[in-house]
């Protein structure tokens, strides 16, 4: 767990207490060895998360708390078996009078989700294939209210506020460069299929994830857990295409790109990519996700050191070499 901003920035130097706002990531009512209730939390802000305990818990005194709640806590940090743990002394929900810097509370992508959405939507309208342009804009427009602020995942890559637009926007820029290189070599390559596939590949994340008003995913939806965003995305494409009366062969191509964009069955795709545009979308998706996860993990270690093993990347260690830092310093 990373060290939270509130643990770093709100410490009272005189008595060692810590006070600040955070989000409830998980909460369970448990009993101690004497049979008394306590709350076992994972609380988080933009800087990370930490396990927290509220001892001698009473619902009447302390109130009820759920995943996704924005709360204010005061307490102290202790070590338990060499792991930091936050002991809560006071706790309450946010109120209308609170002045809160949400950037310190919610981990966010470095882009403006609304602006990125508008840019992607405008680009989709300029696709040379009118059917693909219509389909892409239709699906973007139908989820306008949520898609701009959504994360791209519950955990791992781009699991931050506006993460879906960050991921999609970066992929789209990379797709343009790939088309620029390969279209002259392989004239049959369809840029529109690539761009449509990139923009729509994770469209069903808006249905797969339960996301609160803060733009943080708290869990998978029931439908998301049972079906997954790949299958749900194909259903969305087929339903939209039927309403727009688009040609079936074209819809099948787009559906296959969504079905195969995780590359292989081990990663959740029912099909391997079976034409070049599908392969491009799959490879871009993997590259963007991997780079995000790598730099996120490397940010927590010093130059010349290794991360802990990253289970999402074949349990490998990552090394922070620091060679590129000279470009930043210069």
Q: What is the pLDDT of residues 54-102, one digit of tens each?
A: 999 999 989 899 988 899 999 998 888 878 889 999 999 998 888 887 7
Question: Residue 13: pLDDT band by 50, 70, 90 thresholds?
Answer: very low
* Confidence check: pLDDT of 1 > 50: no
The closest of 103, 110, 209 to 154, measured between CA atoms, is 209
In the chain, the largest separation of any two C-alpha atoms, in whole Å, equals: 74
**Digit-coded pLDDT (tens) for 200-253:** 999 999 999 988 777 878 889 999 999 999 999 999 999 999 999 999 999 999
| Nearest-angstrom CA–CA distance, 303 and 320 | 5
Mean pLDDT of 159-177: 95
Lookup: tokens for 155:
């955990």
Q: For all residues of the chain together, what is the average pLDDT? A: 90
Mean pLDDT of 33-55: 91
> Of the ranges 81-90, 102-111, 180-189, which is most confident?
180-189
Which residues are bridge partners to 19 per DSSP?
74
The closest of 171, 207, 140, 206 to 280, measured between CA atoms, is 171
- How large a percentage of the chain has pLDDT more than 90? 62
| Nearest-angstrom CA–CA distance, 111 and 30 | 40
Sorted by where each starts, the structural domains of the chain and their CATH numbers stand as 5-104 (2.40.50.140), 108-294 (no CATH)
* Confidence check: pLDDT of 53 > 50: yes
Contact 150, 211 (CB under 8 A): yes
DSSP 250: H
């Amino acid at each position: 767990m990373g060290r939270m901003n509130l643990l770093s920035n709100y410490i009272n130097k005189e008595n060692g207490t810590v006070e600040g706002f955070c989000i409830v990531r998980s909460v369970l009512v448990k009993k101690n060895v004497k049979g008394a209730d306590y709350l076992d939390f994972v609380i988080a802000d933009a800087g990370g998360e930490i396990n927290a305990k509220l001892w001698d818990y009473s619902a009447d005194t302390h109130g009820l708390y759920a995943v996704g709640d924005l709360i204010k806590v005061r307490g102290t940090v202790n070590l338990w078996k060499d792991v930091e743990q936050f002991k809560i002394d006071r706790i309450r929900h946010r109120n209308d009078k609170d002045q809160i810097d949400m950037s310190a509370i919610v981990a966010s992508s470095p882009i403006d989700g609304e602006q990125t959405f508008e840019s992607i939507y405008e680009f989709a309208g300029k696709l040379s294939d009118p059917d693909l342009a219509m389909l892409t804009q239709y699906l973007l427009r139908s989820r306008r209210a949520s898609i701009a602020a959504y994360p791209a995942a519950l955990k791992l890559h781009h699991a931050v506020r506006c993460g879906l637009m960050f991921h999609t926007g970066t992929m789209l820029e990379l797709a343009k460069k790939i088309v620029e290189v390969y279209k002259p070599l392989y004239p049959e390559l369809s840029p529109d299929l690539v761009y449509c596939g990139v923009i729509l590949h994770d469209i069903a994340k808006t249905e797969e994830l339960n996301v609160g008003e803060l733009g943080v995913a708290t869990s998978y939806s029931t439908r998301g857990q049972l079906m997954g965003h790949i299958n749900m995305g194909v259903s969305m494409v087929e339903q939209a295409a039927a309403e727009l009366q688009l040609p079936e062969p074209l819809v099948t191509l787009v559906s296959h790109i969504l079905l195969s964009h995780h590359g292989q069955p081990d990663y959740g795709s029912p099909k391997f990519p079976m034409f070049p545009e599908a392969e491009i979308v799959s490879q871009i998706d993997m590259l963007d996700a991997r780079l995000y996860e790598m730099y996120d993990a490397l940010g927590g270690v010093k130059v010349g050191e290794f991360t802990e093993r990253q289970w999402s990347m074949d349990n490998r260690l990552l090394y922070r070499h620091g060679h590129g830092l000279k470009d930043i310093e210069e």
